[in-house]
Amino acid sequence: MPLALIPSFIFYSIISGITPGPANLCSFSAAIRYGKKAALRQWRGLFTGYAVVAFASAFITYFVGAAFDKFLWLFSAVGFVYIMWLAFHMLTMKIEEGETRSECSFKDGFIVQITNVKIMIFCLSALGIYVLPYDSSLKALLLTAVILPFTGPIANLAWLFAGSLLKSTYEKHQKAWNIAMAVSLMLCAVSILKAGYSSFPL
């Protein structure tokens, strides 16, 4: 990646990482429902899952290259359905006072991330835009893949700590918070579907 593109890459990573998505809203939701400790346990799974997706994307980009664009619409369609399901699930969830959730675990976070189409598209796009045109070697792609897990998961932490601070507010206004988070996920799903539609083979 040329040095001149690094500021653009960082800005792209920050914007993509901080916008609402399954991982960010799961971190936020876990923190406001079950507290910071449980959410951090889940976050470790999010980080690991992100790393797996980043390295898988590097290999896909290396072996498939630009041809992957032909299948982006399919990933987007699947991602739309999955994120809409998450939105419905979030909309209908309810926690009673004093309730804890032992299942808010590393495994939960890992599964959310490796099925997160938003980060799949981000990783593939970042590698395809900022690395592949300038250096198509596997080494260059893997080196960038090492950096990627420190973009999205850091944004997850911001959402997590925000959720922790708002826990008491959530307990008083569960329905309003659930609606806001579900709507955010729906908007994310629509944006992913639009991105995939632009690459639909006509």
Asked if the model's pLDDT at residue 179 lies above 90, the reply is no
Burial 154-177 (b: 16+ CB within 10 A, else e): ebbbebbbebbeeeeebeeebeeb
Specify the higher pLDDT residue, 79 or 136: 136
pLDDT band at 97 (very low <50, low <70, confident <90, very high): very low
pLDDT at 93: 61
Give the pLDDT confidence of 32-91 residue by residue, as tens digits: 878 888 889 899 999 999 999 999 989 988 887 656 556 666 666 766 776 677 677 667
User: Average pLDDT for residues 171-180, to the nearest whole number?
Assistant: 72
CA separation for the pair 142, 124 (Å, rounded): 12
**φ and ψ at residue 128, rounded to 5 degrees:** -70, -30
